[in-house]
Structure 1
Amino acid sequence: MDFRRIEAIFLIVFFSLDIFLFLSFRNSQQLVSSSSTNTSTVTEMRKRNISFGTLDTKNGSAYYLGSQPDNSLAQNVNKLRNQEVQYDETSRKLTSSLNSTIAVTTGDRQKVMDKFIKKDSNVLFGSDYKYAPQLSTTSQMVYVGTSKLGEIYDKTCQLTFTIESGRVVSYTQTHVKSMIILHESQTIKSEKEVITNLYANSEIPNNSRISYANLAYTKLLVAKNSTIYIPVWFVTIRNKDSKVSSIKKVNAFTGNIIKNSANGDNGYNAQ
């Protein structure tokens, strides 16, 4: 692989990205600063029956990451056994129907499937994934890509099992073999800053509970056939009355709240 060529491509992409993020940060800086310095926000949230644990005030750090197209699934698909497999070269997605479905319950499904994915003949590169309850439902178990740089909450590196009538019947898989750091680490917003900013912008309703607040990488854009990832806070909010949950996404660098477009898609292509 020509790493000098890859590096040159990422430098070009990153230059364009810098301009985009600078404009985004300038537009949002005043809003983020005013909400994060409001020390009474947490007290006000509790008065409105919004439940949450202790909010971390530490500002960590993260990177801009990049990846090249990954054909590792196609190259290793012949290792899989006891399943009918299809591979889409355009989306680089593997789809599998299990010949023998797997019985699971709400209580044991993670343990059962954690064991299942460890075997290469069941799932390719299973050790590269981690169960994500935040993204999962009763009918789907979502595993996200992991690396030493962090978790990837994105459809470009995801393993999703489908459950029907208490049995795992199939799965889809995408994979990213490696990530490249495009820039030195930068400071990110703290959990407390993100939560209070969401509340200040009317994104957290009264009588709700914050179930999860996780930091992970997700796709920002694709340029010159390379994918750029950025750190994003994923905050799950559950309504105490309706029991319905929703996920809010916040740019960890700028504090911008990420909105979906009219067709339900956006540059931050998280599940």
Structure 2
Amino acid sequence: MDFKRIELIFLCAFLSLNLFLCYSYYQGKINQAQNTEVNSVATIETRLTSDKISFPKKLSEDVSEGYYLSAAATDFTEIEHDYTPKESQNKYTFGMAFSTPEKISNKLSDKEWLSFIKENPQIALGKDYKSVHKLTDNKEVRTFSQIYEELPFNDETSELVLEEVEESKGSLLVTGFMQSHLSEIEPLREKQELITEKEAIDTLYMGNKIPYEGSILQTQLAYTRIFTIRGKNVYVPAWFVLIKDNKKNVHMERVNAFANSIISPNVSEVKK
């Protein structure tokens, strides 16, 4: 018997088996990576569904950009305005009741509402408020805020709130307003990429901030104040998420869009 020929056959068979096993191993790695990628896309949505948490749409993976911002609260006593508050009032907020309530259609577009506050002489700096219907857990008020490079502020330091009552079907009476305003808005660093809506929801879910059988009502990407230092406020972009629990209670959560961390409700004053 030709032993050299047998040895060659076994060697070829051994090499073929090794090549097949290597191919199978690497192919499995590729498939595993692909499956992991697919699973990671569906993970948070699948987990929300399994916990009977409703959400209005497919969670976005679009990437936006934003800044760390610095701004100062506007002193309304220093503004030349016929209705400037007296020295004894809080100089950083300004509000009043209209002597004659304004009758307004409740079907106005955002553009028409912005024109209303811009042209009303009783509202200070009305032209600076460019965002309408800021995400809020209070549906009884209509809120406007300032914007920095397309991202609005969602913060009590930059808001104009109209006081409204429903006069009749299709019309409202605007009886007054309360406002705050920011000046000297400037970036502290270069523009940076932000986490996506999906990543923010994932962070809230992992942090047990979305209750079982709850609902994600709305989300918004906006600037929020994180601390105050030497009279200046510091803001970061954050994902605001409006959540309702299974007892119909509604609350707001915020996720820092730079650090992907949940923001506590308290704003600290840093003194240096």
TM-score (norm 2): 0.70
| Contact 2:76-2:92 within 8 A present in 1 as well | no
SS of 1:68 mapped into structure 2: strand
The answer to whether the aligner puts 1:59 opposite 2:63 as a matched pair is yes
Question: Which 5+ residue runs of structure 1 have no aligned equivalent?
Answer: 1-36
SS class of match (2:145): strand
**Do 1:62 and 1:188's aligned partners in 2 also have CA atoms closer than 8 Å?**
yes
Name the SS of the counterpart of 1:196 in structure 2.
helix
Q: Give the 3-state SS of the residue equivalent to 2:202 in structure 1.
A: helix
User: Per the alignment, do residues 133 and 64 of structure 1 end up closer, same or farther by CA in structure 2, a change over 3 Å counting?
Assistant: closer
Aligned equivalent of 1:97: 97
Alignment match, 1:258: 263
Q: Deviations over 1:172-208 (max 9, x none)?
A: 1111134111111222211101001111221112333
Residue matched to 2:119: 119
Match of 1:71 in 2: 75
Match of 1:32 in 2: none
Quickly say closer, same or farther: Cα 1:48–1:136, change in 2 above 3 A.
closer
2: distance between equivalents of 1:118 and 1:87? Answer: 23
Preserved CA contact (<8 Å) 1:104 1:112: no
More displaced, 152-161 or 165-174? 165-174
CA distance in 1 between counterparts of 2:104 and 2:248 reads 23
**Cα separation, 2, equivalents of 1:231 and 1:199:** 20
* Counterpart in the other structure of 1:46: 49
8 A contact 2:60–2:198 mirrored in 1:
yes
Q: How many residues matched?
A: 223
Q: Is the 8 A contact 1:116 1:122 kept in 2?
A: no
The answer on 1:146 being equivalent to 2:147 is yes
- The correspondence of residues 1-271 of structure 1 with structure 2, limited to 5 A, is 39-52=42-55, 53-71=57-75, 74-78=78-82, 86=85, 90-103=90-103, 113-129=113-129, 130-135=131-136, 137-148=138-149, 150-164=151-165, 166=167, 167-239=173-245, 242-260=247-265, 265-267=266-268
> Which amino acid is 1:132 matched to?
H
What's the secondary structure of 2:236's corresponding residue? strand
Return the offset for 1:235. Answer: 0.6
Distance in 1 separating the partners of 2:58 and 2:105: 31
Deviates more, 1:86-95 or 1:122-131: 86-95
Whole-angstrom distance in 1 between the partners of 2:223 and 2:95: 24
Q: Give a deviation string over 1:91-113, Cα, whole Å, max 9, x none.
A: 41111111111345765596774
SS in structure 2 at match of 1:155: coil
Contact 2:85 2:91 in 1 (8 A): no
SS for the counterpart of 1:124 is coil
Aligned counterparts of 1:74 and 1:160: Cα–Cα separation in 2: 21
- Distance in 1 of aligned mates of 2:123 and 2:104: 17
Distance 1:60 1:108, change over 3 A: closer
Residue pair 1:139, 1:164 contacting (<8 A) in 2 also = no
Structure with larger Rg: 2
Q: CA deviation at 1:242?
A: 4.2
Contact 1:162–1:168 (Cα < 8 Å) also in 2 = yes
Give CA deviations for 1:27-76 in whole Å, capped at 9, x if unaligned.
xxxxxxxxxx6852311212333222121213332111112353367413
Contact 1:140 1:161 (8 Å CA) reproduced = yes
**C-alpha deviation, 1:249, in angstroms:** 0.7
The 2-side partners of 1:62 and 1:126 are apart by: 25
Q: What amino acid sits opposite 2:70 in the alignment?
A: G
Amino acid at match of 2:51: R
